[in-house]
Amino acid sequence: MQPVAETLPDMGNRRATSYDVARMANVSQSSVSRAFTSGASISEDVRQRVLEVAAQLGYQPNAIARSLITRRSDLIGLMIGQATNLIYPEVLFELSRRISASGSRVLLFALESEAEIGAAMEQLWRYQVDGVISAARLSAEQVGEFATRRVPLVLYNRVLPDCAVTAVSVDHADGERRLVDRLVKAGHRRFGLISGPADNAVSVERMESALARLRQHGLDQVAAARGAYTYESGGEAFGQLVEMLAGPPDAVICANDAMAIGAVDAARHHYKLSVPQQVSIVGFDGAGTARWLSYDLTTIRQPVRRMAEAAVQMLMERIDTPDMEPETRLYAGELIQGGSARLG
């Protein structure tokens, strides 16, 4: 081993490469590579010297070049839509944290509309992501493209009917059943439903589950209005329900928290109804804001941390073992007995 060269290599403003480090440390370029690869066979002596020079030069291995040869980018694509849904920021942060913790980086696609999904997928392919977690509305065809390209995919809260796909989801049906049972038990009879967008599978499943359960209780005269998952639309939908029923409903079941909160405000401020004495309102998701005292929403809390942890773990497994079977994990939500509804 030669002594360390005294002169700084001329890099003409370019970033330092492993060759620059090698030259200055008087070792071969491969030794530099090995110094940054845990478990590589390299003497402690050389490793130290390389690391020292690297620090001096501010050298960090180029992950782009690395993934070209290893065929692994350590990039996980994260697709998320519906910025309006209160729980999404929480989901996004939780997933992002878990992905970082498992040694990968997050390539984020925050989608405004479904129309953008195609373009996002194209970029996913181009950037050679190792896998993708999606909380956006993929069509069965789009899910199929992941399979064709053999890019592992985990859906978050999107269970596609008739489509074998790996997913984590809160048990929407179970949650709605529990809400309905408790509302009925408390004596509510005139029900109103506020659903989300018609093409949103989650909303559809939640609302159909609620409706089915109400029918089982012999209640089949249920008013239904459609919202857009937003606070404002929840208030408007509440107004529609009041018109349809020619008076306030006993209880309103909303497809998410944002609309439920909108409904609570509309009931209180526009219709001067007291919640929950005159009307019970329940939501779904258990977003942090739903716990604020002024709303204290009765809702089903999605176990976001556990779900995010599972999603990332399932994805990583499939990256390491490409031919695993699709698997769906359903998580029971926690019923949060807030002050926005009377439960029996």
Partner DNA sequence: TTGTAAGCGTTATCAT
Partner DNA sequence: ATGATAACGCTTACAA
3-state SS, one letter per residue, for the chain? CCCCCCCCCCCCCCCCCHHHHHHHHCCCHHHHHHHCCCCCCCCHHHHHHHHHHHHHHCCCCCHHHHHHHHCCCCEEEEEECCCCCCCHHHHHHHHHHHHHHCCCEEEEEECCCHHHHHHHHHHHHHCCCCEEEEECCCCHHHHHHHHHHCCCEEEECCCCCCCCCEEEEECHHHHHHHHHHHHHHCCCCCEEEEECCCCCHHHHHHHHHHHHHHHHCCCCCCEEEECCCCHHHHHHHHHHHHHHCCCCCCEEEECCHHHHHHHHHHHHHHCCCCCCCCCEEECCECCHHHHCCCCCCEEEECCHHHHHHHHHHHHHHHHHCCCCCCCEEEECCEEECCCCCCCC
Nearer to a copy of itself, 185 or 269 (CB): 269
Which of DNA, a copy of itself, none does residue 17 bind (CB under 5 to 8 Å by kind)? DNA
Q: Find the shortest distance in angstroms from Cβ 188 to a copy of itself.
A: 23
Which of a copy of itself, DNA, none does residue 58 bind (CB under 5 to 8 Å by kind)? a copy of itself
Q: Find the shortest distance in angstroms from Cβ 208 to a copy of itself.
A: 29
Q: Using CB under 8 A as the criterion, which residues of the chain lie in contact with a copy of itself when the complex forms?
A: 13, 15, 58, 60-65, 67-68, 73, 78, 83, 88-90, 92-93, 96-97, 100, 105-110, 112, 122-123, 125-128, 148-150, 231, 261, 264-265, 268-269, 288-289, 292-295
Q: Find the shortest distance in angstroms from Cβ 22 to a copy of itself.
A: 18
Which of a copy of itself, DNA, none does residue 19 bind (CB under 5 to 8 Å by kind)? DNA
Q: Residue 291, interface with DNA (CB under 7 A)?
A: no
Q: Which of 5, 48, 62, 187 binds DNA (CB under 7 A)?
A: 62
Q: Find the shortest distance in angstroms from Cβ 214 to a copy of itself.
A: 28
